[in-house]
Amino acid sequence: MSAVTRGSLGLEGKVALITGGTRGLGLAIARKLASCGCEILLNHAGPREQAEKAVAALGDAEGRVSLERADVGTAEGVESLMSRVRDTYGRLDVFVHNAASWTPMTALEPDPGAAWQDLAVALTPLLHGASALARLMPEGGRIIAVSSTGAHHAVPAYVSLGMAKAALESQVRYLAVELAQHGITVNAVSTAKLDKGQTPSPPAVTALAARTPAGRLTVPEDVADVVALLCAPEAAWIQGQVIRADGGLVLRA
């Protein structure tokens, strides 16, 4: 067995595709996997200029970084993305589904059109990409979805994304069962509200940080570390799970 480079988690040379990878949590995940030696494909749906800034931000990371523009909230976008990955790389070792859309609304005053859009972004990549992923991924492939505590707890104005994340977690379990025979694991990482470094901190961030047993609110890098751990060879027996990375916040009554 070849030696594993310190800090690499055995991921050198792996091809990793991250949806919604050009900002926030997606960019933190990209940075972490790139530092482990992965070749990073950043999916985005926004302006090219913004995406190029993300690539520049990862310029000092080990591993090549490239852009893949596609709207993964549509079947056509997902199919096009998977086709390009197949034609260019011939395989995909890691697929991190981080893309999400959120339209604030309440359960009693919903915006049905926006709610369906939030659901589409959450579910379409694995709904329309599952068959392609099964063909693209070698044994040892990793599929990781990003979820949130809003899937199980009622967060103010979060109803559409809460429903979407709950459905995504169910999707993870079904795919885990069917892809296990191919040696591919499917899991999710869930977190609570993230501290994105706003100064001064919004009152909600300060209050949640005070409630977190670990003493601070979760930052994107915390979640990225857990995603990377699930990609490691040693995580091969973790299947169909939702791993919560929130510093213990959900443990508070």
Residues noted as catalytic: 158, 165
Q: CA nearest 109: which of 168, 153, 73, 156? A: 156
184 in Cβ contact with 237 (< 8 Å)? no
Sign of CA dihedral 253, 201, 166, 137: negative
Per-residue burial over 126-152, b if 16 or more Cβ lie within 10 Å, else e, is bebbbebbbebbeebbbbbbbbbbbbb
The answer to whether 249 touches 190, Cβ cutoff 8 Å, is no
